[in-house]
């Protein structure tokens, strides 16, 4: 029997804020909107074939996590440092606490992913592991390693 | 200094709602361009309250009266057609325009393509026959049953009309009981009577 899925619009309404928040933290204000669109378009493509509707939040954040990784990769390929220029006045999301996320975005990729999924997406360790790969134990360790690095940087 | 984990949690709670809403509407636009919008819906205001209308790439598939719960209607579309259901006001522009014109008395024939996916078999035949009753005309449940191929099934014809997924455009309000009694109507008998009056039908 096929699973009963909510209409996609309801699913989008229910998760858009947390996905946007996660991406804002994961890739920063410049790339968040692009990643957001890519995330939900990929989800929309796969949606009718989804075989388990019990954890839609974990599913969409796993996709968001992969889109964030893609963005990081393509940014490091671009490599040429460009000053962050908003493409339209007032379009940049207000983000007074972005400093701490900038520091997170500089963490090694496993720690970065684990910290983001744990704190920006607010997922429990079991689901952090499912989204990022590996065990819950490894996710816990990556988070604590990441936090240790951040603490060092932040107390300087 | 605040513990770093607390600071992360707080920082993630920034004002994102506006930006998330804008990004979400871009998703709808891109879904439509990519051919991923299986069912698009929107709302339209009428003299009989706000109605939900839904279209597929084939045409108008559903008109829901204000007496129906939008959540249930959307879930039904998701279950029966495709879960790729998105709110897309642009996709229902033509439907809104034609309904507006109809309620203003400026339109007697709808030019909208229809998608019959929510009906099948005898019910679909009854509804297709109903779609051909002209503005200002009326017919009977028995006549619709006959045209659908089973003259004795007027009760079944009545039930097909009672569950008409595309009321107004498929004018089930033009079907009366034999002898001219109003019969039933999903939007209420007062609405059925008002629609017929607007179309110039004299009721007994």
pLDDT band at A47 (very low <50, low <70, confident <90, very high): very high
Put simply, the answer to whether B24 touches A119 (Cβ < 8 Å) is no
Average pLDDT in chain B? 92
Tokens representing B108? 């007697």
| pLDDT at residue A91, rounded to an integer | 47
**Looking at the complex, does the CB of residue A44 fall below 8 Å from at least one CB of chain B?**
yes
Three-state SS annotation for chain A: CCCCCCCHHHHHHHHHHHHHHHHHHHHCHHHHHHHHHHHHHHHHHHHHHCCCCCCHHHHHHHHHHHHHHHHHHHHHHHCCCCCCCCCCCCCCCCCCCHHHHHHHHCCCHHHHHHHHHHHHCCCCHHHHHHHHCCCHHHHHHHHHHHHHHHHHHHHC
pLDDT digits (tens, 9 = 90+) for A124-151: 999 999 988 899 999 999 999 999 998 8
pLDDT band at B48 (very low <50, low <70, confident <90, very high): very high
Interface A:B, Cβ pairs < 8 A: 121
| pLDDT at residue B178, rounded to an integer | 80
Q: Is B172 a catalytic residue?
A: yes
Match 């099934």 to its residue by tokens: B153
Rounded distance, CA A49 to CA A12, Å? Answer: 17
Lowest model confidence (mean pLDDT) among A65-69, B13-17, B64-68: B13-17
Highest mean pLDDT among A68-82, A111-125, B14-28: A111-125
pLDDT digits (tens, 9 = 90+) for B93-143: 999 999 999 999 999 999 999 999 999 999 999 999 999 999 999 999 999
| pLDDT at residue A72, rounded to an integer | 85
pLDDT digits (tens, 9 = 90+) for B162-202: 999 999 999 999 999 887 788 889 889 999 999 999 999 98
- Taking the model in full, what pTM does it have? 0.85
Residue A105 neighbours by CB distance under 10 Å:
17
Answer yes or no: is pLDDT of A29 > 90.
Answer: no
Q: Which residues of chain A make contact with B4, given a CB cutoff of 8 A?
A: 100, 147, 150-151, 154
| pLDDT at residue A2, rounded to an integer | 62
Residue A38 neighbours by CB distance under 10 Å:
21
Answer yes or no: is pLDDT of A88 > 50.
Answer: no
**Element spanning B175, H or E:** strand B175-176
What mean pLDDT is predicted for residues A93-114? 80
| pLDDT at residue B17, rounded to an integer | 76
Answer yes or no: is pLDDT of A1 > 80.
Answer: no
Residue A124 neighbours by CB distance under 10 Å:
13
Answer yes or no: is pLDDT of B4 > 90.
Answer: no
Cβ neighbors of B32 (< 8 A, separation 6 or more) are: B40, B88, B90, B91
Query: Which of B143, B150, B164 has its CA nearest to residue B64?
Result: B164
- Is there a contact between B29 and B149 (Cβ–Cβ < 8 Å)? no
Answer yes or no: is pLDDT of A46 > 50.
Answer: yes
Answer yes or no: is pLDDT of A123 > 50.
Answer: yes
Of A5, A6, A8, the CB nearest to B86: A8
ipTM over 0.85: yes
Q: Which residues of chain A make contact with B5, given a CB cutoff of 8 A?
A: 119, 147
| pLDDT at residue A85, rounded to an integer | 47
- Is there a contact between A25 and B9 (Cβ–Cβ < 8 Å)? no
Query: How would you class B92 by CB atoms within 10 Å of its CB: exposed for 0-12, middle for 13-18, buried for 19 or more?
Result: buried
Angle at CA of residue B88, ends A39 and A64, nearest 5°: 10
Q: Residue B33's closest chain A neighbor by CA?
A: A41
CA of residue A89 relative to chain centroid, distance: 25
Answer yes or no: is pLDDT of B12 > 80.
Answer: no
pLDDT band at B14 (very low <50, low <70, confident <90, very high): low
Rounded distance, CA B40 to CA B32, Å? Answer: 9
């Amino acid at each position: 029997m096929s699973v009963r899925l909510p209409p996609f619009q309801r699913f989008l309404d229910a998760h858009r804020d947390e996905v946007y928040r996660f991406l804002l933290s994961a890739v920063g204000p410049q790339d968040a909107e692009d990643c957001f669109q890519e995330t939900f378009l990929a989800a929309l493509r796969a949606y009718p074939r989804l075989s388990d509707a019990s954890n839609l939040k974990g599913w969409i954040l796993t996709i968001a996590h992969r889109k964030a990784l893609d963005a990081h990769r393509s940014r490091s390929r671009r490599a040429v440092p460009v000053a962050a220029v908003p493409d339209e006045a007032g379009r940049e999301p207000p983000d007074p606490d972005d400093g701490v996320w900038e520091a997170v975005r500089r963490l090694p990729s496993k720690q970065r992913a684990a910290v983001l999924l744990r704190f920006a997406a607010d997922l429990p360790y079991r689901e952090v592991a499912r989204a990022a790969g590996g065990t819950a134990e490894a996710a816990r360790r990556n988070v604590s390693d990441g936090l240790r690095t951040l603490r060092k940087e932040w107390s300087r | 200094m605040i513990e770093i984990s607390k600071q992360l949690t707080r920082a993630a709670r920034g004002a994102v709602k506006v930006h998330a809403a804008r990004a979400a509407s871009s998703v709808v636009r891109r879904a439509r361009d990519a051919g991923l919008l299986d069912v698009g819906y929107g709302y339209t205001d009428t003299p009989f309250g706000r109605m939900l209308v839904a279209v597929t790439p084939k045409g108008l598939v559903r008109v829901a009266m204000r007496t129906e719960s939008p959540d249930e209607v959307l879930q039904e579309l998701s279950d029966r057609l495709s879960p790729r259901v998105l709110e897309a006001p642009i996709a229902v522009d033509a439907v809104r325009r034609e309904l507006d014109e109809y309620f203003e008395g400026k339109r007697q024939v709808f030019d909208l393509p229809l998608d019959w996916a929510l009906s099948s078999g005898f019910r679909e035949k009854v509804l297709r026959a109903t779609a051909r009753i002209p503005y200002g005309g009326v017919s009977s449940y028995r006549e619709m049953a006959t045209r659908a191929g089973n003259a004795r099934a007027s009760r079944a014809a009545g039930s097909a009309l009672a569950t008409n997924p595309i009321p107004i455009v498929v004018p089930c309000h033009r079907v009366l009981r034999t002898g001219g009694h109003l019969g039933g109507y999903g939007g209420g008998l007062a609405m059925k009577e008002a629609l017929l009056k607007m179309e110039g039908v004299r009721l007994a």
